[in-house]
Amino acid sequence: MYAGNAQFSFGRRLTPWVKRLLIANVVIFLITRVSPDLFNYWLAFDPSRILTQPWGAVTYMFMHGGLMHLLLNMLVLFFFGPPLEAKWGSYEFIKFYVICGLGAVVLSFFNPGASIIGASGAIYGLMLAFAMNWPEAPIYIWGIFPVKAKWLVGFFFVISLMETVGGSGGNIAHFAHLGGILTGFLYLKSDWRPGRKAGRKRPTVRIRKMAPVPRDQPARRAKPETPPEGQGVGRDESILDEVDRILDKISAEGMTALTPKERETLDNVSKRHRTN
């Protein structure tokens, strides 16, 4: 599985939380191989044991039924996780991951007779988020057949929906898959989605130099000084416009999206403001 287009490439290095999740899942998988049945009983999520084993709502995300189950989930996390964490920031990324996993738990109550294990609920949420951010990115199945991200995720959604309605699917937790996708979609469309609030624009911030008023004199409106023509005003306005643009970029994409030059600009303006 591979993807790439003019605006997106998978050539990114591993981001902090993607790396931690990969390591945690592999380590826990190796530990649980000592006694799979025992660990599955205590760490899987079972709707009928929610009151006696509530921790299962989180620990189930790190349990896997076999090597192929683990590899498929970690492969999706490896490819789709870094671009999302780089765009949103680490905090928003891990919050979204856990929320999608918990959403899978909620929908699992519609199938109370079975326990669930695996990170698939959270992984399906990540796939949906990727498709919503880069819908046209081609995903190469088996490295040969290109499929746009939006169509691939749509296909997985339809399959999960059909299997949950039909009640088939063997040992595959389709309710959990569907729960992860639906939770991710609702989260991204709500006021809590990563980046910024829905329908709410961040107010433009401008930095202005302020003159102190002596305590022993009444405050008076100061007349603005007019600098010599061609000096000061044009340059200051240009800098402020650049700061506004950078702040808008932070609001939309997060701090990790800034270039070194943009970070340097913010640092310089901040130092000037403190000095003044």
pLDDT tens digits, one per residue of 137-155: 888 877 677 888 888 888 8
The closest of 49, 44, 52 to 173, measured between CA atoms, is 44
Q: What is the CATH number of domain 2-189?
A: 1.20.1540.10
105 SS3 class: helix
Tokens encoding 142: 């088996």
Give the per-residue pLDDT at 240: 78
Q: Which residue has the higher pLDDT, 119 or 115?
A: 119
Question: Could you tell me the residue ranges of all domains in the chain?
Answer: 2-189, 233-275
Helix (H, G, I), strand (E, B) or coil at 140: strand
Side-chain-side CA neighbours of 186 within 13 Å: the count stands at 10
Mean pLDDT of the 35-49 span: 93
- Tens-place pLDDT, residues 165-180: 655 555 567 788 888 9
% the chain with pLDDT above 90: 42
Complete DSSP assignment for 22-71: HHHHHHHHHHHTTSHHHHHHHHSB-GGGTTT-TTHHHHGGG--SSHHHHH
Average pLDDT on 4-24 reads 75
Question: pTM of the full predicted structure?
Answer: 0.66
Q: Which residues contact 70 (CB under 8 A, 6 or more apart)?
A: 25, 26, 29, 64
Residue 42, token pair as written in the block: 């205590």
pLDDT of 262 reads 81
